[in-house]
């Protein structure tokens, strides 16, 4: 797992609140200025769900813990 992609994926979800997969992909590419493969993003999102950092409902990802979301928005601009 590339920690930069994980962090940017989490920040995308925190910023967009209810983020679709394409929105997360676009955000990560814009912030890192690097191409991330569909497979890599999907795998990383699955791992984040398994660890409980994010949830998926109706094709939208969100961060269920408000403290985690707040920290991502404030401490990682």
How many domains is the chain partitioned into structurally? 1
Tell me the pLDDT band of 60, cut-offs 50, 70 and 90. very high
The string of DSSP letters for 5-62 reads: HHHHHHHHHHHHSSB-HHHHHHHHHHHH-S---HHHHHHHHHHHHHHTS-EEETTEEE
Per-residue pLDDT tens over the stretch 42-53: 999 999 999 999
Domain that includes residue 36, residue range: 3-75
How sure is the predictor about 4, in pLDDT bands with cuts at 50, 70 and 90? confident
CATH of the domain at 62: 1.10.10.10
Whether this model's pTM surpasses 0.85: yes
């Amino acid at each position: 797992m590339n920690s930069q992609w994980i962090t940017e994926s989490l920040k995308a979800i925190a910023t967009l609140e209810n983020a679709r997969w394409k929105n997360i992909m676009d955000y990560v590419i814009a912030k890192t200025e690097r191409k991330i493969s569909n497979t890599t993003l999907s795998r990383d999102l699955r791992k984040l769900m398994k660890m409980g950092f994010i949830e998926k409902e109706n094709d939208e990802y969100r961060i269920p813990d408000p403290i985690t979301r707040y920290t991502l928005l404030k401490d990682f601009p």
